[in-house]
A and B are shown apart, each in its own frame.
Chain A
Amino acid sequence: MKKSLTVVTASLLVLCFSASTALAGGYQLNLLGQRQIAMGHTGVGMPLDIATIGLNPGGLATIDHNAILLGSSATFISTHYRAPAPSSYKAKTDSPMRTPFSIYASYVTPVENLRAGIGIYTPYGNALRWEEGWKYRFLLSEISLTAIFVQPTLSYRIGDRIGVGAGFIFAYGAVNVQRDLPVDAQDDFTPMVELDGTTTAIGFNVGVHGKITDQISFGAAYRSQIDMEISGGDADFTVPTSLSGTFPEGNRFDAALPLPAVLSFGLGFKATDDLRLNLDANLTFWSAYESLDFEFEQNPETLNSIGPRNYNDRWIFRIGGEYDFNDRLQLRLGSYYDPSPVDEGYLTPETPDVDRIGISGGFGFAITPQTDLNASVLLVLSSPREQTAQDAMDVGTFGTVPVGEFVTRAWIPGFSISHRF
């Protein structure tokens, strides 16, 4: 084990020099629990704590105590852009730090084998602010996407080995998009539009967990697609007065953004008494994201836009481990491979997506026998990705997508505190 820790440490350092850094595919945030994040965001096959409400509701049946778990991450994401050669132009994002969070509570009900719980978590989100006046300011200057899921859950144990669970999801979504308009004002301001809307939607999250042997367990979970349909959002145009006919004041817009379904499988191994290993795979049904269209109430002929996205379904593969360093301290490591759901030609300034490798680590510390502190850090690595004018022309998006190279660096520390009673 000591040797493997050294090997992992060394390979982390090698990766630093061979790759550069990025967050989860598309606008997904796989940050459902700190213990899981530290282990490459695994845990579908092994319910380590009540974050399983989010990862696999079937696992909740195996947890024999009431608990609360409060956790949050802080995202430090920086995306860089470089224009095609021979341009010396570069731009970067100045993205605000975001704090995706997860809150869980579980309750051992008086009914035998029945557990109840609730999870409040943020499985999707995006926050990006490009530097002022950047090359593609007419496509996007700033975006903020927030999705908060509230999921009351029931989980039931069948016999000694099988747990099933189901949760109802109530989702709240908010989106804010800002971009400059390709017109110029005599007065000293930059014409721009801000689109702002909120919505709610419902969905479900179901899962099953089973023990094959005392050492090996498995899990499968499915969280449904939730469509964030914004109807009558505010479209606020800041334009020269003489153009108010084209860009009317008090305009409204409709748009829809899918939060895709995720099918997850996991295997858990208790390798030794003090070492646990997880293997997970998630299939995100990104193909639901075909197009991002905006329809306006006033002057739709000019203002409506269609933005083909044509994302592809993608598997994410994850591996993680947890080692009991001593009675109170657990060390965790993990990694995952998260290929981009976006083809060249469809890369946009709001999701300049890349294939990513995630490397995570962290620890758990028992402050008291009932109270744990968990900390994690996730680094997301990627190589620069280029979208050429030809890529865009091939799929018919030229003029509506940026051309050049993107690379994203993300490091996401987080911590949680859990209490059992």
Chain B
Amino acid sequence: MTTDIRARVRAIVAEQAMVDPSDVTEDQTPADLGVDSMGLVEAIFAIEEEFDIRVPFNANEPTKSGFDISSVGAIVAAVERLVAEQKG
């Protein structure tokens, strides 16, 4: 399950960054991958659709949204937590 979520999140981020999923590493930030704020909003939408979850995120105060977007690994962890909370 955890591996599955990781792969699916990485695929979504890779699609947004227009790179191969194998080129996405856990320590990269969205900015490292060339994903801007609107790209991030679209990636979060894709995550919500993929996992059928609701992601709290306000682009005006990204650090206060309770959804850690500081790196790909952080996003994976945040999605794992939301899936456990909302689908568990």
Note whether A and B form a binding pair. no
